[in-house]
Amino acid sequence: MAPTETAPPETAPSDPPIQLLDRSGKLSTDDRLPLDLATVDLATLHRDMTLTRRLDTEAIALQRQGELGLWPSLRGQEAAQVGAAHALRRQDMVFPTYREHGVAWCRGLDPVALLGLFRGTTLGGWDPYAHHFNLYTLVIGAQTLHAVGYAMGLHRDDSTGTGDPDRDTAVLAFLGDGALSEGETNEAFVWAAAQNLPVVFFCQNNQWAISAPYSVQSRIPAAQRAAGYGFPGIRVDGNDVLACLAATRQALHRARSGGGPTLIEAVTYRLNAHTTADDATRYRPAAETEDWAARDPLERLEAHLRSTGAVTDDHFTDLEQRERDLAEQLRAGCRELAEPDPASPFEHTYAQIPADLRQQLREHLEFVSTGPQDGERQ
Amino acid sequence: MTSPQQFLLPDVGEGLTEAEILAWSVRPGDTVEVNQIIVEVETAKAAVELPSPYAGVVSALHAEVGGSLAVGKPLITIDTGPPGESADGRATRQPEPEQAALLVGYGPQSGGAGRRRRRSAAPQHGTSLPEDRVEAGRPDQVVERPAAKPPVRKLAKDLGVDLTTVTATGPGGTITREDVREAAERTAPENVPAPDKARPAETRIPIRGVRKHTAAAMVASAFTAPHVTEFITVDVTATMRLRELIAGRREFRDLRITPLLFFARALLIALAKTPEANSSWDETAQEIVLKHYVNLGVAAATDRGLVVPNVKGADRMSLRELAQALADLTATARAGRTSPQDMTGGTITLTNVGVFGVDTGTPILNPGEAAILAVGAVRRMPWVVRDDNGDERIEPRWVTQLALSFDHRLMDGRQGSELLAGVAEILHEPGLALL
């Protein structure tokens, strides 16, 4: 019988993703992914995940209040992002998509700066070198090539395999499941493998590329693809912050030591719609979302912390206050973001402005200074 | 003195121009917190809940439930300063109703829309407010919202459970999924008797949206065009066989080959011999307009109600093109994305009531069209068959019923019967389409 639109091709059976912290908050070990708990600061992981979620929640509210044009929510992906970010060293370079608010937070970016792009006050928002965190990339998969290019530079600068912990550097490139179907991503994988580059591809497989489910994009788990390019792939529970941390540490260590690329597939779920302009209920069954909500990454870590007594009640009380402060900082900071200078796109396109562009700039400034015309909306 | 702040309807979905108010969660006099949900609106893209940007007391709602509001227009006014607090010299901002609509609905809210003081959850005005609410039959609107996560709230809404009546067992006094389920089970049997106070004997649903549109169209049609309906029962076994044959062909591999496709095709072929069925009545010009193109409407039941998008130029399509067009049209309709353009300009309509398991019905014309064909369920039925020797026997066959309604101003029994019999003939013996 001919396949129909409702019956996507069957995906190959696969092992469950590696998990160190189960949904009830119970710890276990896995020989494939060793993790020395003495090197893990659980309270800080919990703090960063909680504040990341609050940042996200507040940004959604600001969008609904007309202060932001758009916001891509990371809700449900806090463990994947915070886990991966905590494996980084200062000199490692991150290439994010537009949803890596948790990584940005852990890298120390001003959270208000994240809002600028979505308020339309900037085309970038921060200095990529200040925190070794590149600008958000909106073109799906494009950042994988930027990451590979940066890794080529590291290779040529002999910044890998020296054994000097302050010198050896790796690149961490983020991507989603949708990017796996893009040409750029496949080029990046091929090139990274061919040149044995110090890059880790961290794929948050959140199951949905806007409205396209992963099942219509691939017949095999994302991690299995790595073998075809010739580098290791590892599949972890993306809602388990410890598994994400351990896998990224292992992969970054290999990259810094000259061992080449790794693909990490963090199996997770985008609990909210693709962005605030999307309505996920039109393509996604509610039962699926509820099922994933029950595997919440924050709840399981909190359950672990409470059941083991790893932190005191003060931790939670302090955190609540920090959440409120962060929310207030975002609300006030968002409204105070400076309006962009109308000349800035012209000034930043070329090192020296060509004559015809200078003419356009003059005309543009003149046009802007006259204000809105009749019949035009502001 | 108080400080009234207006919250203008934002563009919540990249380039929207208006939204419909679905439900207010607050009323004038209510105290609201920053980010408390105040209203649910539906845009062309989605239904979304809007959180309050201000803490204070609601002084006015500027739009009614069911009404539309343009982006940039005032939605709600909230007094952000309690009475007698003007002495602190905070900048007060007067409402600016004439503030121009913003292209993408965000940007600077002119003036000192900066930091605002937080307020306690206790109501600042009128201590009798909670009682007022209970009297008004809205016990869910008390000031202290019970703590529950959004999916749990959704579950409670779906199960009709009032969260204020639920005993919370979750961490920090939050209501869990299980609490809601328990409450639902506890209250369910009590709700069965009709004269229960908590459950009114009637529910009043405002007439709007698709329902309103459908109602107006049906009344206009039923009381303008004198309807005649004719019926026929037909053995469609040969068509079902043809469907299997076509579904197995390479070029149709990626398409859903449904019986509806063949009903549509048969109607289009038969229609060529009865042009009156593809016409309209121009009362003003006193003319009958015969259309030399067919825009085939297909009625689709969606979550939002009945929509009838049409396939433009359906008569000039190959079977494959028609299959694709029907698939696109139903997918778009089910997703709630049918555009007004897709629904106008139809010349004749097909309605498949068979999907609901019924044999047929007496369809009402889509306004402005001359005919509509209803197709019933295709069932295995005993049928009298005659073999080559002229011997008769009863066999199980695929059988369906068709009903054709037509506008008696434009067609008489002769044309109507010709068309209906023509459709039936092709479905019974698809080879006749070669003629």
pLDDT of residue B97: 36
- Whole-number Å distance between alpha carbons of A216 and A351: 44
pLDDT of residue B178: 86
pLDDT of residue B326: 93
Nearest to A174 by CA among A82, A242, A243, A111: A82
Cβ atoms A207, A127 nearer than 8 A: no
pLDDT-derived band of residue B91, with 50, 70 and 90 as boundaries? very low
Question: Cα dihedral angle (B105, B111, B112, B113), rounded to 10 degrees?
Answer: -10
For residues B249 and B355, membership in a common domain is answered with: yes
Query: At residue A316, does pLDDT exceed 90?
Result: yes
pLDDT tens for B250-304 read: 888 888 899 999 999 999 999 999 999 999 999 899 999 999 999 999 998 887 7
Strands A93-95 and A171-176: parallel
**Arithmetic mean of pLDDT, A57-63:** 96
Domain count, chain B: 3
For residues B216 and B233, membership in a common domain is answered with: yes
Backbone angles phi, psi at A21, to 5 degrees: -130, 110
- Record: contact B106-A69, CB cut-off 8 A: yes
Neighbouring residues of B232: CB distance < 8 A, sequence distance ≥ 6: B401, B402, B420, B421, B424
**Arithmetic mean of pLDDT, B103-119:** 36
Query: At residue A302, does pLDDT exceed 70?
Result: yes
> Mean pLDDT lowest for which of A140-149, A328-337, A356-365, B180-189?
B180-189
Among residues B125, B213, B227, B408, the one annotated as catalytic is: B408
Among chain B residues, CA nearest to A59 = B35
**Structural domain of B62:** 4-141
CB half-sphere exposure, B301, CA atoms < 13 A: 6
Cβ atoms A234, A110 nearer than 8 A: no
For residues B50 and B167, membership in a common domain is answered with: no
Residues of chain B with pLDDT > 90, as a percent, come to: 48
Interface test with A, best of B12, B110, B154, B158 (most A CBs within 10 A): B12
For residues B314 and B200, membership in a common domain is answered with: no
Helix ranges restricted to H, B110-236: 129-135, 150-159, 177-187, 209-222
- Whole-number Å distance between alpha carbons of A103 and A143: 15
Q: In the annotation, is B408 catalytic?
A: yes
CA angle B138/B142/B146 to nearest 5° reads 115
Helix ranges restricted to H, A157-262: 183-194, 222-229, 241-256
Least Cα separation, residue A60 to chain B (angstroms)? 9
- Whole-number Å distance between alpha carbons of A175 and A124: 19
Q: Around Cβ A187, how many Cβ atoms within 10 Å?
A: 14
- Record: contact B14-A3, CB cut-off 8 A: no
- Whole-number Å distance between alpha carbons of B277 and B286: 18
- Whole-number Å distance between alpha carbons of A92 and A133: 9
Return the percent helix, strand and coil in chain A, to nearest 5: 45, 10, 45
Least Cα separation, residue B104 to chain A (angstroms)? 7
For residues B53 and B112, membership in a common domain is answered with: yes
CB contacts, 8 Å: B114 with chain A: 332, 335-336
Least Cα separation, residue A302 to chain B (angstroms)? 11
Q: Is A357 left (phi over 0), alpha (psi -120 to 50) or beta?
A: alpha
Among chain B residues, CA nearest to A372 = B100
Of B111, B141, B171, the one marking the end of a domain is B141
pLDDT-derived band of residue B43, with 50, 70 and 90 as boundaries? confident
pLDDT-derived band of residue B2, with 50, 70 and 90 as boundaries? low
Give the one of B105, B114, B254 whose C-beta lies nearest to A66's C-beta.
Answer: B105
pLDDT of residue B142: 37
For residues B259 and B292, membership in a common domain is answered with: yes
CB contacts, 8 Å: B254 with chain A: 2-3
For residues B258 and B365, membership in a common domain is answered with: yes
DSSP state of B228: E
Query: At residue B167, does pLDDT exceed 70?
Result: yes
pLDDT tens for B129-140 read: 333 333 333 334
Q: Which residues pair with B280 in a beta bridge?
A: B289
Q: If interface means Cβ-Cβ distance under 8 Å, which residues of chain A face chain B?
A: 1-5, 58, 61, 63-70, 119-120, 273, 276-279, 281-283, 286, 289-290, 293, 327-328, 331-332, 335-336, 339, 372, 377-378
pLDDT-derived band of residue B46, with 50, 70 and 90 as boundaries? confident
Least Cα separation, residue A148 to chain B (angstroms)? 33
pLDDT tens for A97-153 read: 999 999 999 999 999 999 999 999 998 889 999 999 999 999 999 999 999 999 999
For residues B322 and B407, membership in a common domain is answered with: yes
- Record: contact A65-B51, CB cut-off 8 A: yes
Query: At residue B104, does pLDDT exceed 90?
Result: no
pLDDT of residue B198: 65
Of B178, B206, B234, the one marking the end of a domain is B206
Cβ atoms B240, B398 nearer than 8 A: yes
Least Cα separation, residue B69 to chain A (angstroms)? 15
**Arithmetic mean of pLDDT, B105-115:** 36
- Record: contact B108-A120, CB cut-off 8 A: no
CATH code: domain of residue B161: 4.10.320.10
Strands A262-267 and A233-237: parallel
- Record: contact B12-A332, CB cut-off 8 A: no
Give the one of A2, A278, A339 whose C-beta lies nearest to B247's C-beta.
Answer: A2
Query: At residue B377, does pLDDT exceed 90?
Result: yes
> Mean pLDDT lowest for which of A60-64, A249-253, B9-13, B272-276?
B9-13
pLDDT of residue B211: 82
pLDDT of residue A259: 97
Interface A-B, measured as beta-carbon pairs within 8 A, has a size of: 101
CB half-sphere exposure, A20, CA atoms < 13 A: 25
**Residue B318 tokens, joined:** 């190959």
B12 vs B269, more confident: B269
Neighbouring residues of A341: CB distance < 8 A, sequence distance ≥ 6: none
- Record: contact B114-A293, CB cut-off 8 A: no
- Whole-number Å distance between alpha carbons of B403 and B401: 7
Least Cα separation, residue A184 to chain B (angstroms)? 27
For residue B121, the one-letter residue type is: A
B93 vs A156, more confident: A156
Among chain B residues, CA nearest to A281 = B46
**Residue A69 tokens, joined:** 């044009």
What mean pLDDT, rounded, does chain B reach? 81
Among chain A residues, CA nearest to B71 = A66
- Record: contact B100-A290, CB cut-off 8 A: no
Q: Is A108 left (phi over 0), alpha (psi -120 to 50) or beta?
A: left
pLDDT of residue B99: 36
- Record: contact A65-B248, CB cut-off 8 A: no
> Mean pLDDT lowest for which of A23-37, A199-213, B76-90, B305-319?
B76-90
- Whole-number Å distance between alpha carbons of A260 and B294: 62
- Record: contact A289-B151, CB cut-off 8 A: yes
**Arithmetic mean of pLDDT, B26-43:** 91
For residues B128 and B163, membership in a common domain is answered with: no
Of B156, B191, B206, the one marking the end of a domain is B206
**Arithmetic mean of pLDDT, B353-376:** 93
Among chain A residues, CA nearest to B331 = A5
**Arithmetic mean of pLDDT, A37-50:** 96
CA angle B124/B127/B129 to nearest 5° reads 95
For residues B119 and B157, membership in a common domain is answered with: no
CATH code: domain of residue B63: 2.40.50.100
Query: At residue B170, does pLDDT exceed 90?
Result: no
Give the one of A4, A65, A120 whose C-beta lies nearest to B53's C-beta.
Answer: A65
For residues B72 and B158, membership in a common domain is answered with: no
- Record: contact A64-B248, CB cut-off 8 A: no
First vs last C-alpha separation in chain A? 56
pLDDT of residue B158: 82
- Whole-number Å distance between alpha carbons of B434 and B27: 68
Cβ atoms B50, A64 nearer than 8 A: yes
pLDDT tens for A233-275 read: 999 999 999 999 999 999 999 999 999 999 999 999 999 999 9
CATH code: domain of residue B343: 3.30.559.10
> Mean pLDDT lowest for which of A61-65, A263-267, A346-350?
A346-350
- Most confident residue range from A11-20, B43-52, B117-126, B401-410: B401-410
For residues B406 and B319, membership in a common domain is answered with: yes
pLDDT of residue B127: 32
Q: Around Cβ B1, how many Cβ atoms within 10 Å?
A: 11
pLDDT tens for B200-218 read: 788 888 887 778 888 888 9
Residues of chain A with pLDDT > 90, as a percent, come to: 84
pLDDT of residue A374: 52
pLDDT-derived band of residue A79, with 50, 70 and 90 as boundaries? very high
- Whole-number Å distance between alpha carbons of B148 and A67: 27
